[in-house]
Structure 1
Amino acid sequence: MSKKYESLAKSIADKVGGSENVETLAHCQTRMRFVLHDNSKADKEGIKNLDGVANVIESGGQFQVVIGTHVEQVYEEVTKFISPNLDEEPVQEDNRNLFNRLIDFISGTFSPVIPAISGAGMVKALLALLVLFNVVSGDSQTYYVIDFMADAVFYFLPVFLAYTAASKLKCSPYLAVALAGILLHPNFSALVEEGEAVSVFGIPMELATYSTSVIPILLIVFAQKYIEGFARRITPDAVKIVIVPMITIFVTGLIGLLILGPIGSYAGNYLADGFEAMQNYGPWLPPTLIGAFLPVMVIFGLHHSVAPLGFMQLAAFGYEGIFGPGAMVSNIAMGVSVLVVSLRTQKQSEKQLATANGITGLMGVTEPALYGVALPKRYPLIASIIGGGFGGLYAGIVSTVRFGTGSSGLPAIPLYIGEDITNVINIAIALVIAAVISAILTYVLSFRFEKNQEVNESESKEVTLEGTIVSSPVAGELLPMSEVKDEAFASEALGKGFAIEPTEGTVVAPFDGKIATVFPSKHAIGLVSDTGMELLIHVGLNTVELNGQYFESFVEAEQPVKKGQMLLKFELDKIREAGYTTQIPVVVTNTLQYSEFELLNEGETSTEDPVLKVEV
């Protein structure tokens, strides 16, 4: 595949002015988006005339090369010829409120570290199993070595968080790691051990232990962002490479040791005291709330802001009961509920989907089950919320904790092995409670929500050999493609179709088929109908620049969908307030395979109204 686009990619790279003229490069669903140092150096007409380029548009400070739905393959080839700042997005004003920005920061900081923390947790679980079965003695050198191997991630947690936080805040991750190294340096640890008063430039320095800590390094990296930025602005280009790091490490390091580190340490201690109080006086509450409402939290992305509390508790005490037990019973409840759906539904396609997603849910990954089955059908979601809540209540009452982090599914049971198997027994009972209640409720509710009638093979999938009817995926005003305020769509260079000026922020499937792709920024979805039509639904113009802000997707690639099934939601007013055009082009990307296109409606349209008929 790469050879197919190599020549085109090289021509594009040459005609935009080469690497030295490219400041940043990104791509969306249909086009590559260059930010060039000098647009006049780019051969716009030359690129437009290349075989494989649909159009070239200069808009919003970007030089946009319209390729089509195979843009990702072309982009991968272009990056072989253009090197600077490829992963750097053009700086956009952040219009999100403080709460949303905080959740995004926490998620972006902790998510990349989760594999390392999970791996370390599973090593601890393996070690516990080895001790339980008398393979390894708890006082042996083997135990000692494996134990510090597992603890290394937690001890050096400030280093990991320094890198990810700096990457999120777009300052130097390597300088951030250097600042974390200051907190963990053996000489500083020796000062802490000695406990004697220490001062720097006559200012007393609080001696605190920063290994396994979280808050101090986050505060320090936040300060680094501004100190490093200031240093870059005041330093001549000729000496930036040495002066900026010097100022950043010296100034931020001192501020960190003298002010921010101690503040973060005190905050962490208070947080740890809160965890301990919760564990002593109200251990039932967090697992109950997480067990019941984790699916709702996942829908709104709030789980990203709660899970790190469990990591902090684990780093502080060596165990955690805030997030893990509740998440585990919730996931099992979801998996069981969806498996019961597979037994109750009469539609073969739904049986297959529910069976696969239910098993995946039991393994700890519930998004496919949630978005593919539970949310569209509603009743398994209700059952899993109730079952997960009761399972979490039991886990909390008996103070169930885990001693490592990993997936919150059946493979994670060894994480609950401590000095004895009490926690394993308790989590097993909690899982049984969640599973049984969820299964019974799902079964009972299915009599009300499921249609108990046989669906013949011929009736379950209608095949229209003459063409396809496309229904409206969005409520709003139907527009001809020529009225779209984007040359690439309006000229039908990407394919024929129609557009909608939306009045609501919900997109549904316009036919039966499957999801071909969901772009990471969630602003565009590609589908393939059961009759072979390839369709692109693109919400707004240039909305890729929002990087997923104001969008929420409910499907994933290769997922089967039914006509009318919810695909995504978007905050229409906020997108308009941010200055973006909200027209939604709906494009048949395999236009050349069809001979006739007929718009069946005009003016106002509702979701599922037939709007386009195509003939082969």
Structure 2
Amino acid sequence: MSSKYASLASEIIDGVGGPENIRSAYHCQTRLRFELRDESKVRIEQLNATDGVATTRSAGGTFQVVIGTHVKDVFDALEPLLSASGAAADAGEQRSKKKRRNPLTALIDFIAGTFQPIVPALSGAGMIMALLAILTTTNVISKESQTYIVLAFMSNAVFYFLPVFVAISAADKLKTNRILAGVVAAMMLHPTWVQMVADKKDVRLFEIFPVTLATYGSTVIPIILIIFVQAYFERWLDRVVPNAIKLVIVPMAVFLVMGILAFTVLSPIGTVMGGWLASFFTFLTHSAPWAPPVIVGALLPVMVMFGVHNAIAPLGFAQLAQMRFDSIFGPGAICSNIAMGVASLVVAFRTKEKKVRQIATAGGITGLMGITEPSLYGIALPKKYL
């Protein structure tokens, strides 16, 4: 445990009502997120006054403590304290006792929890694409060169194998076996299947069940449907299969049943839904290309405050995977982030308060890099810029 953040982690645990009040804890890019037993036990004023805490929020069924881009270091210091008290291990046992959330909140939480761990990989791949665009535009390299081809498949790899990453992340969110989920996703990308689709010959399982010929690289909806069903099927198997044979029977049953369902039922449904989504993207691109950037750019700070941006950003990821560009979320988000970052740097330049200058400088830099929470909670909201 890092001694640098040990004291802060201890104060945060105390502020949210102690380890006995915590069902589970995790973090995103800037926030600690707690599922609490009783939110009325939280000492909000104490937490907000804690040095190292930007602010607190309650949204989407979780209590959030905004830390900043070093949130992982704070979480690494906090996790051993929870493990020692048994709070983290108790999360699974209390799942059935948790208060039911409304479907919209649960959906947003699932989408956000699934895509957040994948964001760094998507961002890195997107930056390589941007670098390639610059290099080809300035004639440093040509699209026919081996350098371009290698860099191109390096950036495209994350999108082609996106179903595997989504499967693993969704399995983590649904608390099911991530390796089994990844293998089921890999079945959909197997070279033999890709070749069968390319051959365009009729495929039937057991000579009865028709299989829809479709490629699943770069898709997200089919695998989300599959893992959602797989999580419940796997839990049922864990209950009914004897422990002595569970190690071999459960994986075999998952692969057989989910593999067949994936190719005959769930993936085709997901493909149709993905087609609708692609049509929606195409309609917006041709009919109202200005609308998404304006709406997202204007409302992004408010969406970040309530965590709704996590439900919209995956639309951009899906469009990027299917069409190799994002006109839904990215352009508006970039403009909003730049505006927030620049505003924070202006405050840093003009303020005479040392602490405010430190917060504004750090927040401005991270805002320009795409993380606006430090600027939003440390500068914009306290100074009523919104």
Q: Same fold by TM (over 0.5)?
A: yes
Q: Does 1:159 align with 2:159?
A: no
**Judging changes above 3 Å, is the alpha-carbon distance between structure 1 residues 251 and 279 closer, same or farther for their aligned structure 2 residues?**
same
| Counterpart Cα distance in 2 of 1:135 and 1:87 | 56
* Contact 2:197-2:213 within 8 A present in 1 as well: yes
SS where residue 135 of structure 1 aligns?
A: coil
Point out which structure has higher relative CO (alpha carbons under 8 A, 6+ apart): 2
Q: Output the amino acid matched with 2:13.
A: Q
Equivalent of 2:383, from 377, 395, 401?
377
| Counterpart Cα distance in 2 of 1:34 and 1:338 | 36
Partner of 2:57: none
Bigger Rg, which one: 1
* Contact 1:32-1:71 within 8 A present in 2 as well: no
* Contact 1:166-1:172 within 8 A present in 2 as well: yes
**Judging changes above 3 Å, is the alpha-carbon distance between structure 1 residues 263 and 28 closer, same or farther for their aligned structure 2 residues?**
same
* Contact 1:120-1:150 within 8 A present in 2 as well: yes
| Counterpart Cα distance in 2 of 1:266 and 1:207 | 12
Q: Output the amino acid matched with 1:214.
A: V
Report the more deviating stretch, 281-290 or 195-204. Answer: 195-204
Which sections of structure 1, spanning at least 5 residues, go unmatched?
4-26, 36-59, 61-68, 382-616
Partner of 2:315: 309
**Judging changes above 3 Å, is the alpha-carbon distance between structure 1 residues 374 and 134 closer, same or farther for their aligned structure 2 residues?**
same
Partner of 2:110: 105
Report the TM-score, using the length of structure 2 for normalisation.
0.76
Q: Deviations over 1:363-388 (max 9, x none)?
A: 3221111111111221x22xxxxxxx
Q: Deviations over 1:306-362 (max 9, x none)?
A: 000000001111111111110111111122333344455554543443344234323
| Counterpart Cα distance in 1 of 2:81 and 2:372 | 35
* Contact 1:137-1:143 within 8 A present in 2 as well: yes
Report % sequence identity. 49
Alignment map for 1:562-581 (pairs within 5 Å) = none
Equivalent of 1:29, from 13, 17, 20?
13
| Counterpart Cα distance in 1 of 2:111 and 2:322 | 18
Q: Deviations over 1:185-206 (max 9, x none)?
A: 1111111111111111301111
* Contact 2:118-2:165 within 8 A present in 1 as well: yes
SS where residue 377 of structure 1 aligns?
A: coil
Alignment map for 1:517-536 (pairs within 5 Å) = none
**Judging changes above 3 Å, is the alpha-carbon distance between structure 1 residues 246 and 371 closer, same or farther for their aligned structure 2 residues?**
same
Q: Output the amino acid matched with 1:305.
A: A
**Judging changes above 3 Å, is the alpha-carbon distance between structure 1 residues 326 and 75 closer, same or farther for their aligned structure 2 residues?**
closer
Alignment map for 1:404-423 (pairs within 5 Å) = none
Q: Deviations over 1:433-455 (max 9, x none)?
A: xxxxxxxxxxxxxxxxxxxxxxx
| Counterpart Cα distance in 1 of 2:138 and 2:176 | 48
Equivalent of 1:76, from 80, 84, 94?
80
* Contact 1:331-1:362 within 8 A present in 2 as well: yes
Q: Output the amino acid matched with 1:350.
A: V
Partner of 1:205: 211
Q: Deviations over 1:94-148 (max 9, x none)?
A: 4211111111110110010111111111122222222233332211122112211
Partner of 1:291: 297
Q: Flag the structure with higher helix content.
A: 2
How far the C-alpha of 1:285 sits from its partner, in A, is 0.5
Report the TM-score, using the length of structure 1 for normalisation.
0.49
Q: Does 1:190 align with 2:195?
A: yes
Q: Flag the structure with higher strand content.
A: 1
Equivalent of 2:257, from 251, 254, 274?
251
* Contact 1:184-1:211 within 8 A present in 2 as well: yes
Partner of 2:242: 236
| Counterpart Cα distance in 1 of 2:21 and 2:243 | 25
* Contact 2:348-2:361 within 8 A present in 1 as well: yes
Which sections of structure 2, spanning at least 5 residues, go unmatched?
4-10, 23-36, 38-49, 51-73
| Counterpart Cα distance in 1 of 2:201 and 2:2 | 63
* Contact 2:2-2:76 within 8 A present in 1 as well: no
SS where residue 376 of structure 1 aligns?
A: coil
Q: Output the amino acid matched with 2:136.
A: V
Equivalent of 2:273, from 246, 264, 267?
267
**Judging changes above 3 Å, is the alpha-carbon distance between structure 1 residues 132 and 189 closer, same or farther for their aligned structure 2 residues?**
same
| Counterpart Cα distance in 1 of 2:213 and 2:151 | 30
| Counterpart Cα distance in 2 of 1:353 and 1:34 | 31
**Judging changes above 3 Å, is the alpha-carbon distance between structure 1 residues 28 and 86 closer, same or farther for their aligned structure 2 residues?**
farther
| Counterpart Cα distance in 2 of 1:243 and 1:355 | 56
| Counterpart Cα distance in 2 of 1:208 and 1:94 | 40
How far the C-alpha of 1:87 sits from its partner, in A, is 8.9
Q: Output the amino acid matched with 2:80.
A: E
Q: Does 1:117 align with 2:122?
A: yes
Q: Count how many residue pairs are aligned between Structure 1 and Structure 2.
A: 323
**Judging changes above 3 Å, is the alpha-carbon distance between structure 1 residues 283 and 76 closer, same or farther for their aligned structure 2 residues?**
same
| Counterpart Cα distance in 2 of 1:140 and 1:128 | 14
